[in-house]
Amino acid sequence: MELVLVILIGVLYASGIFMLLRRSMVKLLIGLILLGNGANLLIFLLGGITKGKPPVIDNAAKLFTDIYADPIPQALILTAIVISFGIQSFAIVLLKRVYVLVNSDDLDDLNTPEEEDI
């Protein structure tokens, strides 16, 4: 399981960065989404994966002595997913707006020259 996740994270980061280096705005956005997902999986993996041991204490016991699945990485990922969801939807709307204004998907067309400044 760990090995699969390691490879998956590597692929997500690599493809995310590759997409970021393209000139298309849509690919830029996809790159950011892939990178974000890679980061979430990385937290999940590095938090330590424990199967079938929920962090629930018996009524009888006072202390938790057994190995248990750490809930914090999942809380972190959940927070990160929610945040990136909001940001990505904003980004999609912004890029659509850019497309309407500039009529191009090419990032190099986003340079209004200095003379047009006010």
Partner 1 sequence: MIDNAIVFPVVVHLFTAILLLFFWRKTIAQRMISIAGSLLAMLVAIGLFAQVWDGGILTMQAAGWEAPFGISFVADVFSSSMVLLTSFSGLAVSIYSATGIARGRMIYGYFPIFHFLLMGLNGAFLTGDIFNLYVWFEVVIIASFVLMTLGGRKAQIEGSVKYMAMNILASTFFLTGIGILYGITGTLNMADLSLKVAALENRKLVDITAIFFIIGFGIKSAVFPLYFWLPSSYHTPPSAVAAIFGGLLTKVGIYALFRIFTLIFIPDDFIRTLLVFLAIFTILTGTFGAVIKNNIRRMFSYLIVCHIGFMVGGLGMYSEVAITGALFYLFHDIMVKTNIFLIAGLIRKLRGTMNMDKLGGLYAEYPLLSLLMAIVLFSLVGIPPLSGFWPKIHLFEAGFMGGHYALIAALIIGSFATLYVISLMWSKVFWKDRPIIEDEGVLTDDFQPLSKFRKSLLVTPIVFLAVITLYIGLGAENIASVVKHIAREMKDTSPYIEAVLGTNELQ
By CB under 8 A, name the binding residues for partner 1: 20, 25, 28, 32, 35-36, 39-40, 42-43, 45-48, 70, 72-73, 76, 79-80, 83, 86-87, 90-91, 94-95, 97-98, 101-102, 107, 110-112, 114-118
Nearest-angstrom CA–CA distance, 83 and 112: 31
Q: How far is the CB of 11 from partner 1 (least distance, A)?
A: 15
Q: Other C-beta atoms within 10 Å of 52: how many? A: 5
Q: How far is the CB of 61 from partner 1 (least distance, A)?
A: 19
Nearest-angstrom CA–CA distance, 114 and 112: 7
User: At how many degrees (to 10) do helices 25-46 and 2-20 cross?
Assistant: 160
Kindly tell me which of 59 and 103 has the beta carbon lying closer to partner 1: 103
